[in-house]
Structure 1
Amino acid sequence: MFNLARSFEKFMKSVEQSSAKRSPTYTAWLLMVVYTLAHTDRQIVSILAEPIKQELGLSDSQVGVLIGLSFVVVYTALSVPIARLSERINRVWLLAACLSVWSIFTALGSLAQNFTHLFLARVGVGVGEAGTNPASYSLIADVASRKDRAKLLSIFNLGLPIGSFLGLAAGGVVGSVFGWRQAFLLVGMPGVIVAIFLVLSLRDPRHDQSVGLIQKEAKKKTISFNEDFLEVLSKRSYLLMLGGMASIIFLNYGKVSFYGSFFLRNHLDGLVEVSGLIQDHFGFSVKPLAILGLIIGSLTGIFGAFGTVLGGWLGDRFGGADPRGYLIVPIFGCLLQFPFLIAALFVPSFLHSVALFAVPAFLTATYLSPIIAAMVGVVRPTLRATATAISTTVAILIGFGCGPAFTGMLSDVYTSQFGDSGQGVRFALMTSSLSVISAAGFFALARLHIRKDFEG
């Protein structure tokens, strides 16, 4: 027994030594895997909204609550406290714990028998995911140089489109073949395994002397949360970027949450036609829900991934010397996508609608890495987790919490007016698309103030 304990201790020391040598790029890629799982679990309800709605007897408003508010209830309450905790304890262990919690609750969603059961399961997912972004962003910011920060953040942010693709595609395929409950189990199980690998493979850089400067600053004085909170909010550019971020997330989650309903209600004939073409050419049948999951997943995953990488590269290129450059890509990305959003909602052809939606999927993804790089640059290093937690909390509360619920309620209202649920969801998505214009305005105003706020 004694030899076994010594062997285990020796093994853990060797793991710690090897993990301490990991490059910033490795850190970004591994945290990207964690972020991918977060968005896979987060998006699974969206593509399965229709079968869940039918089996549990839900309204569009209740579906919107399940996708948004159920998650946001605890996410917004716990994000800042967990971020403050991450500034004091090992962030790698914290991330592993969060990953395990949300994965388990995703799997538990498969047991839901009514709206309340599924609501509580999604609340549990929110508990786990509340600590992901603040700890991850601060980890990457600590190990990245200024000139590479947006690029490394873009690697991490690839988890959003890749996770969305996996959640939508796997959810659509597995849901159409085995049912929505089995899809919940499939996306929930891998998280615990990745959590173990995370602990064994990565080390919090606060334990390295190379970032001792951050630790020294943290120990100089004890500052209350109120003082830190007010310091972050004193940055006018930060507040304006936060407004733009919330506006985009409001649109994105409202849009993605009802993509499936929009296509199934307005373009079911097109989906059936594609299914028939696959049957004729390849000799096997694919249900419309599976096709829809693959298509929407590809829109958010493939085009979103390209947009994320390009946004990070352009962010470093434009913002490396002058922080105002970080805002160029988000401003133009927001303005250029609006006409494509409107056209995609009203063209009669299914394939034309899909093609038009691909453009906003690409352009929307370009904003995130430059904005996060700018946000962590306008605060002190020891406040990066707090700043990202505040921004994530507010953006998620307004965007993820209100976006799907607002779009769902609008859909119910428009449906009662038009007497057609297809028209209802179409005009609901059209109305919510206006938020992308307000996002461009917020980013343009932030560009006027960021230079004097920037700390590096």
Structure 2
Amino acid sequence: MAASAVSADVPEPAAAPARHPWLVLAALTFVYVLNFLDRQLLGILAKPIQDSLGVTDGQLGLIGGLYFAMFYCFIAIPVGWFADRTNRVNVLSLACAIWSGATTACGLAGSYSQLVVARMAVGFGEAGGVPPSYAIITDTYPPGKRAAAIGIFNLGPAIGAAIGVAFGAAIADAFDWRMPFIVIGIVGIVTAVLIWLFIREPARGALDPVQTGTGLGKAAFWPTVRMFVTHPILMLAALGSGATQFVTYGLGNFAVLFLMREKGMVLGEVAIWYALVLLLGMGGGMVISGRVIDRMTRTSRAGYAIAPAASLAVAMPFYIAFVWASSWPLALVLLAVVMTFNYFYLSASVALVQEEVKPNQRVLSGALLLLVMNFIGLGLGPTWVGQASDWFRAHGDAHGLQSALYTLTPFYLLAIALFLWLARLLRREGPNPVQVPA
């Protein structure tokens, strides 16, 4: 039987929660901060990297999108299967060490090809970061508190991006673009050792209802994959998230370059004001979304889909206004609203998938969710924007990057439609999840 949905009458868990779950959550969130910080440095330092290595917008989109995603998305699948059968904390620690070492290598790259190889290695390591963390959190917090916990965990991208902007831009402005990669890579290696020493592996399914959280062996790989890709609720959550990430990553990888090139910001201003927008906008959205989703799903599981659909409908007109804005202060005010509402999908989709599957399928299912949504969003979003920018500029558009960002707007509509479809299925299913085949 699948894990029970969050509802007012959730059955008693098979075991008591951990004594200090917030310590585990804080540690995992810090690792996620490093994970996203490493990933975002390329976009934050895009202009000095372009000046140093002669990289075009299209090449930048490929290295931050498709090349990175080929490793990040697909390696996550065997890593998820392995973590479901072994110690998830050890997998997380090793992954953190790998991506941090590769981040240091990015700072030592002397050519575009060397930077490509180093970024692929970062993607290889980061593939083992998020899926094990989702499963550890789910086995640390009981139903009814998971979306809020995942919402706090998902502050990692906001904090990581904000620190990356503030730290990366400030250090690059004072020294050069290589130093932030080297310093943050070293911090990540030390963190990996501390995670391995001090975080303990929670029991799988111990906090799920007694009838679903106990007596489960190791989940088989292909039956779990088959279950995921043939399960309409799981696939719609992944596709809706992918369409959303097409926008968020397409924008995120080029936002700093856009603000500097089109709106007149300099690195010193980016380090302060853009960092604040990320921290308050994206961070606030992550915290609010988790609590809103937990509240909405107490009465209807359709809240997992209605919340992101509604939030994206609010964000879309502000996104268009952001791209149009005539000055960077106005653009940042509009972007803060966009960031607040762009990320409701993440806590909703992750919590839904983790609730929908068996406890021994959670890491692999989380990896499959990330595969679909990140290959679409992370892999294709920045690639699309970079190639579109080069195309517009080659055809005489002096504001090619601005025109390229406008082309992301239809993906808001696609994501909203997919989440509304998901809401319809969840209403039809009723308060309890469907049976998930073994």
Compute the TM-score of the two structures, normalised by the length of structure 2: 0.90
Cα distance change on mapping 1:253 and 1:210 into 2, 3 Å:
closer
2:205·2:359 contact (CA, 8 Å) conserved in 1? no
| Superposition RMSD in Å | 2.0
**Is 1:350 matched with 2:348?**
no
The code of the aligned residue for 2:56 comes to S
How many Å apart are 1:224 and its aligned residue? Answer: 3.5
Residue matched to 1:52: 49
How many Å apart are 1:290 and its aligned residue? Answer: 2.5
2:219·2:361 contact (CA, 8 Å) conserved in 1? no
Residue pairs, 1:54-203, within 5 angstroms: 54-203=51-200
SS at 2:86 equivalent:
coil
How far apart are the structure 2 equivalents of 1:180 and 1:330?
A: 36
Cα distance change on mapping 1:209 and 1:372 into 2, 3 Å:
closer
Cα distance change on mapping 1:215 and 1:419 into 2, 3 Å:
closer
**Is 1:406 matched with 2:384?**
yes
The 10-residue stretch of structure 1 (242-251 or 209-218) with the greater mean CA deviation from structure 2:
209-218
- Which of 221, 224, 240 in structure 2 is aligned with 1:225? 221
| Higher RCO structure, 1 or 2 (CA under 8 Å, sep 6+) | 2
**Is 1:263 matched with 2:239?**
no
How many Å apart are 1:444 and its aligned residue? Answer: 0.6
The 10-residue stretch of structure 1 (37-46 or 171-180) with the greater mean CA deviation from structure 2:
171-180
1:80·1:386 contact (CA, 8 Å) conserved in 2? yes
- Which of 10, 14, 21 in structure 2 is aligned with 1:24? 21
How far apart are the structure 1 equivalents of 2:377 and 2:189?
A: 28
How many Å apart are 1:384 and its aligned residue? Answer: 1.3
Deviations along 1:117-150, one digit per CA (max 9) or x if unpaired, are 0001101111111011110111111222111010
How far apart are the structure 2 equivalents of 1:408 and 1:196?
A: 37
2:141·2:207 contact (CA, 8 Å) conserved in 1? no
**Is 1:300 matched with 2:275?**
no
1:149·1:373 contact (CA, 8 Å) conserved in 2? yes
How far apart are the structure 1 equivalents of 2:239 and 2:326?
A: 34
2:93·2:195 contact (CA, 8 Å) conserved in 1? yes
**Is 1:251 matched with 2:229?**
no
How far apart are the structure 1 equivalents of 2:123 and 2:215?
A: 32
Residue pairs, 1:265-284, within 5 angstroms: 265-268=261-264, 271=265
How many Å apart are 1:21 and its aligned residue? Answer: 5.5
2:84·2:219 contact (CA, 8 Å) conserved in 1? no
How many Å apart are 1:298 and its aligned residue? Answer: 2.1
SS at 2:178 equivalent:
helix
The code of the aligned residue for 1:188 comes to G
How far apart are the structure 1 equivalents of 2:366 and 2:257?
A: 32
2:139·2:206 contact (CA, 8 Å) conserved in 1? no
Residue matched to 1:441: 417
2:107·2:177 contact (CA, 8 Å) conserved in 1? yes
Query: Which ranges in structure 1 are unaligned for 5 or more consecutive residues?
Result: 1-19, 272-287
How many Å apart are 1:295 and its aligned residue? Answer: 2.5
How many Å apart are 1:340 and its aligned residue? Answer: 0.7
- Percent of aligned positions that are identical: 29
Cα distance change on mapping 1:96 and 1:63 into 2, 3 Å:
same
How many Å apart are 1:214 and its aligned residue? Answer: 7.4
Deviations along 1:334-354, one digit per CA (max 9) or x if unpaired, are 111111111111121221111
How many Å apart are 1:28 and its aligned residue? Answer: 1.7
1:379·1:455 contact (CA, 8 Å) conserved in 2? no
2:50·2:56 contact (CA, 8 Å) conserved in 1? yes
2:65·2:383 contact (CA, 8 Å) conserved in 1? yes
Residue matched to 2:235: 239
2:213·2:359 contact (CA, 8 Å) conserved in 1? no
Query: Which ranges in structure 2 are unaligned for 5 or more consecutive residues?
Result: 1-16
Cα distance change on mapping 1:74 and 1:39 into 2, 3 Å:
same
Residue matched to 2:13: none
Residue matched to 2:313: 335
The code of the aligned residue for 1:411 comes to S
SS at 2:55 equivalent:
coil
1:235·1:378 contact (CA, 8 Å) conserved in 2? no
Residue pairs, 1:357-368, within 5 angstroms: 357-368=335-346
1:34·1:194 contact (CA, 8 Å) conserved in 2? yes
How many Å apart are 1:292 and its aligned residue? Answer: 1.5
- Which of 183, 204, 208 in structure 1 is aligned with 2:201? 204
How far apart are the structure 2 equivalents of 1:209 and 1:252?
A: 35
- Count residues in correspondence: 415
Deviations along 1:327-382, one digit per CA (max 9) or x if unpaired, are 22201111111111111111212211111111111111222112211121221221
How many Å apart are 1:289 and its aligned residue? Answer: 1.1
How many Å apart are 1:215 and its aligned residue? Answer: 8.0
